[in-house]
Structure 1
Amino acid sequence: MLVIAVVAVVGAGAFAVIASNRIKGSADETAAAYFAAWREGDLAAMARLVYKPPEDFAVRHRQLSEELHVESLQLTPGPLRGTGEESAEVPFTGVRQLAELGAWPFDGVLHLAVRDRAWKVLWTPETLHPMLKDGVTLELTEIDPTPAELVTSEGDKIPVDSYAEAYLEPLRPEFEQVNHGWALVAKTPGRPDVRLLTRAPKAEVERTTLSRPVQAAAARALDGVDDSTMIVIRPSTGEILALADRLEDDYSAVRDVFPPGSVFKTITAAALLKSGLDPAAQVPCPGTYQIPFHSSFRNDGAVDRGVVTFTDAFAYSCNTTFVEQTTTRLKSADLRATAEEWGFGRSIATGIGGSCGAVPETGDLDMLAADAIGQGEVVTTPLCMAALAAAVESGTWRSPRLLSKEQVRRIDGIPHGDVVMDPRVVAALRDMMAAVVDHGTASGMGLPADVSGKTGTAEVPDGPSHAWFIGFRDDLAFCVFVRHGGSGRSAAVPIAARFFKGL
């Protein structure tokens, strides 16, 4: 009996030793539970499976996901392999989906060991990502945007030396707001940063209305002509096909106003036609004309053409005819109202700003006479004069634009709506502008036979006269302006001739 009792005592002691050395769980179970909790983002459950997790265990996980903009995490464990009697490891692959950079795969190893009679994860920062060791940090950085690329309506690069740069450069920031790039960077103290993933800034390409051949022809027509500009518009749409600007002293062909000289007679002629003056009416064109009890005006060179049709008075740019007819048929309010119909004082939404001009009302008959021939207080932009020529060609005034209608609305606001002009007045103006090139002040200058236009020479107090020429051919309307260039015939018309030859 004693022997049996001794054996029983010894057996119980051995069971107690075995029980006291029993290990809770297994390496497989702990690894599977850890990966499951990691996939679910259950940081508390993960921490319970880690042997002595650092105080910032949860913070590190959250910071990495938030700072790198992690959208999802995939984990694929490999087979468990023992590394000792009470240690093991599980190789695994992972893919973090980053919002800005897409999939970012990595390889890792989950280390496990028996601690306090239980299988635990031995966590280090490398468990989160293998690069997170020796003080390395991972950061998502923004790459500065590349300048937006503005191209022609055909999608081509803007021609070199196009003289449009002053308008295109300020536009580029308008299209850079979505152009940022991103880089995932590994930062190691004392070492250069290493880019792990990169998404280069996407170059924003925005089509302008500029036409490559038209812009090139306008720019080359201005070569060698200082202080000059040429604007070409498509009358049927208002699109600016060419904007070549060589004006000096920071002047702008789109925003700055100048005296228009005789190109303004296009507006005055429209007002006189509305008043009932017929294009075929016989009118005097003396070398000089004095308004009764007021100032005297004269033609260029005081040329006396006798009695001519109103169309020919326009073709020859008879100052005296326009002064007499205006002061006897019109009031200042009539001239101003007609100018406003044809764009003066009207808002222009181009995508690059712009203005048209002004015709102030006056009670002074001498000033009205001067205004009628584009001298007085009348001022305008070359852009406005190109739009005027376009309106004569198409019969509809349209706000000129350099960008798509959607972009113009975003940048400049809603443009003024199209305005249909009086068909009778339009038809007469077309014939009168054709006569200018056929036998008037722009004849014999090498222009194609189907070009119509109006020359202008604006006297100014600060130097030689400004030279103007506006006109159209088919679905092209243009304005040439040479600041202090002299006469419209000698300085501006040859530029238009070179332009059409270069198309």
Structure 2
Amino acid sequence: MGRGVKAAVIGGVCAVMLGGAGYGAYNVVSALDGSGPAGAGGKSGPPDADEVKETAEDFFTAWEKGDATAAAQLTDNAAVARTLLAGYRDDAHITDVSITPGQTRPDGVSVPFTVKAKVSYDGASKPLSYDSSLTVVRGATTGRALVDWDPAVVHPQLKAGDTLVTGEAASPAVRAVDRDGKTLSVKAYPSLGTVLDQLRAKYGDKAGGTPGVELAIRHTVDGAPDTSLLTVSEGRPGALRTTLSASVQAAAEKAVRRYDKSSVVAVKPSTGEVLAVANNPASGFDAAFQGKVAPGSTMKVITAAMLIDNGVTTMNGPAPCDDEAVWQSQTFHNLTNMKPDPGATLADSFARSCNTAFIKLIDEKPLSDASLTEEAQERFGLGRNNWKTGIVSADGSVPAVAGPDRAANAIGQGQVQMNPLNMASVTATAITGTFRQPYLVSPKLDDRELATAKGLPPGTAAQLKQMMRRTATQGTAAPAMSGLTGDIGAKAGSAEVDGQAVSDSWFTGFRNDVAAAAMTLEGGHGSDAAGPIVVDVLRAGG
């Protein structure tokens, strides 16, 4: 049966339904959307090839005609599908829709397709083209072959709760530029997609531009700014200067592509300016700024500062590295094959990343359950939820806890949560002694107040910097940092996560006036994955 003939049959059924009444009318509706009484269809198992082809063709025909009701009734969630499909025509102003199906995929039920259409608004129009796919399933109660409803069927970037709209843009476009005035585009720097969307939403009306007309995705669930899909008529973009460095950003983009689930941030310690932010995958969740995961032994930068600031030990003071340490009935170990060193100093144990050395020292007076939290908040500016970077960011969490998690927190496990932005800032504070809240856009643009903290005593900062220098040349960070010139320092780490066979890789380091931190989920030891990412960024920025 052809696409047009089948659509006519569906339309006739709808007419009968509207003319009927009572239970009989309900049966027709429910039969069409798969919600009818059990046994109505009689078939079971996956749809066969003919059913898949016919269902997809019928759905495409109804969609092309703008018949949201008919198209929705060919899905397994008619009520939700109808709303989005009607909005496709009425709110997004998409017309002249032509859909070309591709070859059914090897699973036998997934059909890729290409949509070509036109978006028209207020006398202006632009062509629209994109690819998507659908899956045909068996209705659970009717036995009918139906499109498995997902908003991504209508457009691959749509998620639950999203809508498509065309109209005057919510904010003027911005032409974001780096610190030297070079234009920053998503095409050149894919990781900046979510960053530039947020900057536009927040600063578009402050950058001097005028809004145009756009087709956009409106995110009504998470409150995120609109995602622009197509510019129907141009506005006048305003120029927005950021702190980013195009050269460092390019290096960061390339570096994270080495490993899946990787993120990196670079900052300028002398100012707090963010020089680069990159994620792989480039689109979606901004793990570099918003991630909340255990940072492993990179946390020992803060723990070492706590020990020094509270007079427990010094860089050259004792920090014995034993095979194991027991804290309130929980036994902690070091990395496999690490030889014990009962005469180790703090600098020795920091460079080797000896877990037991740090755990054995955290019950020394005057330390308490809150000491690490206080160090993180008061010295490093973490965990107060008050960073104002210019976009959404998380500023870390180091909760005060008793029991085994107090020991685990000291080595970057337990309940500690960080992201690369946080750890890049930690390194910047450690080597300068001054906490400067990281930011992407000058606070002068919107008079926002940046977070403050008292930073570190000069003696503590000097010792931390020296320990990081040693770790970069003789310790666990040396394999990654090898060949990097200038004033360098680093701390490598790995974080064990329940359910993962491979630990998360973490690394933070500095070179001259650039500090960077990276994480690679399930990347192994710090120098295995995150380390090379940081080194590439430091090489570009130093």
TM-score by length of 1: 0.64
Alignment of 1:393-432 (within 5 A): 393-407=431-445, 409=447, 413-417=448-452, 419-432=454-467
Change (3 A) 1:203 1:332: same
Change (3 A) 1:273 1:171: same
Q: Deviations over 1:416-445 (max 9, x none)?
A: 136342111111100111111111001133
Match of 1:281 in 2: 317
Offset of 1:273 from its aligned partner?
0.5
Change (3 A) 1:339 1:203: same
Change (3 A) 1:400 1:408: farther
| Structure 2 residue matching 1:331: 3-state secondary structure | coil
Match of 2:200 in 1: 172
- 1:350 equivalent among 389, 395, 419: 389
Q: What are structure 1's unaligned runs of at least 5 residues?
A: 1-141, 183-198
Change (3 A) 1:362 1:150: same
The structure with the larger Rg is: 1
Say whether residues 1:327 and 2:363 are aligned partners.
Answer: yes
Q: Deviations over 1:102-151 (max 9, x none)?
A: xxxxxxxxxxxxxxxxxxxxxxxxxxxxxxxxxxxxxxxx9878621111
Amino acid at match of 1:202: R
Offset of 1:175 from its aligned partner?
3.8
| Structure 2 residue matching 1:164: 3-state secondary structure | helix
Offset of 1:345 from its aligned partner?
1.5
| Structure 1 residue matching 2:484: 3-state secondary structure | coil
**Counterpart-to-counterpart distance in 2, 1:460 and 1:156:** 40
Match of 2:145 in 1: none
Offset of 1:252 from its aligned partner?
2.5
**Counterpart-to-counterpart distance in 2, 1:181 and 1:265:** 48
**Counterpart-to-counterpart distance in 2, 1:249 and 1:143:** 25
Amino acid at match of 1:357: G
Amino acid at match of 1:208: T
- Root mean square deviation, CA, Å: 2.4
Match of 1:367 in 2: 405
Match of 2:374 in 1: 337
| Structure 1 residue matching 2:363: 3-state secondary structure | helix
Offset of 1:369 from its aligned partner?
1.0
Offset of 1:294 from its aligned partner?
1.9
**Counterpart-to-counterpart distance in 2, 1:376 and 1:181:** 47
Contact 1:362 1:368 in 2 (8 A): yes
| Structure 2 residue matching 1:285: 3-state secondary structure | coil
**Counterpart-to-counterpart distance in 2, 1:481 and 1:381:** 8
Q: Deviations over 1:338-375 (max 9, x none)?
A: 111212223101010212122222231x2211111111
Contact 2:399 2:415 in 1 (8 A): yes
Match of 1:228 in 2: 262
Say whether residues 1:462 and 2:488 are aligned partners.
Answer: no
Change (3 A) 1:200 1:224: closer
| Structure 2 residue matching 1:391: 3-state secondary structure | helix
**Counterpart-to-counterpart distance in 2, 1:395 and 1:219:** 29
Match of 2:176 in 1: 150
**Counterpart-to-counterpart distance in 2, 1:324 and 1:220:** 41
TM-score by length of 2: 0.59
Identity %: 33
- 1:296 equivalent among 321, 327, 331: 331
- The size of the alignment, in residue pairs, is 341
Say whether residues 1:382 and 2:416 are aligned partners.
Answer: no
Q: What are structure 2's unaligned runs of at least 5 residues?
A: 1-166, 213-232
Offset of 1:224 from its aligned partner?
2.7
Match of 2:521 in 1: 483
Amino acid at match of 2:278: A
Change (3 A) 1:252 1:156: same
Contact 1:148 1:205 in 2 (8 A): yes
Match of 2:488 in 1: 451
Bigger fraction of residues in strand: 1
Change (3 A) 1:327 1:210: same
**Counterpart-to-counterpart distance in 2, 1:460 and 1:147:** 41
Contact 1:180 1:202 in 2 (8 A): yes
